[in-house]
Structure 1
Amino acid sequence: MTLSLNGETRLFAGPADGPLSLSALLGMLGLDARKVAIERNQEIVPRSRYAETWLASGDALEIVHFIGGG
């Protein structure tokens, strides 16, 4: 599956048992779902929908990491 991730085209293998969810992609990337915001095809995806948002080849994703500090 080919995805555009923050403007970079990348190839990802989906799980053997079916399509790739946004949650599964975050796991593959080693990202904590609580610390990112995601836009898929120019629409914000609510965090509560990551597990049920299925990705398709050609999707454009923007992932923003939250960094704490003070």
Structure 2
Amino acid sequence: MNIRVNGEKIELSSTVKVIEDLLVFFELQERLVIVEQNREIVTKEEYQSTKLGDGDEIELVHFVGGG
């Protein structure tokens, strides 16, 4: 499956099926992340049930601390 993540085209393996899988793929599952799929915000409660589709546009925003 091919999707765009933060404007970059990527090809995903068949094991990445839902938003939660995508966060694991990018090692973001333990972080506070805002997810947008095709211009719609996906809530954390929906990560396990929101399926990814070929051509989806995903925006991932996560916060980085520092001082």
TM-score computed with the length of structure 2 as normaliser = 0.88
- Aligned partner letter, 2:44: R
1:36 matches 2:33:
yes
How many residue pairs match? The answer is: 67
What is the letter of the counterpart of residue 8 of structure 1?
A: E
Per-residue Cα deviation, 1:13-42 (whole angstroms, up to 9, x for no partner): 122xxx601001111111125410000000
RMSD: 1.6
**Identity across matched positions, percent:** 39
Kept in 2, the 8 Å contact 1:23–1:33? The answer is no
In the TM superposition, residue 69 of structure 1 has moved relative to its aligned partner by 4.8
Partner in structure 2 of residue 26 of structure 1: 23
User: What CA distance in whole angstroms lies between the structure 1 residues aligned with 2:30 and 2:44?
Assistant: 7
Structure 1, unpaired ranges of 5+: none
TM-score, normalisation: structure 1: 0.85
Structure holding more helix per residue: 1
What SS does the aligned partner of 1:30 have?
coil
**2:14 equivalent in structure 1:** 14
Query: Which amino acid in structure 2 is aligned with residue 13 of structure 1?
Result: S
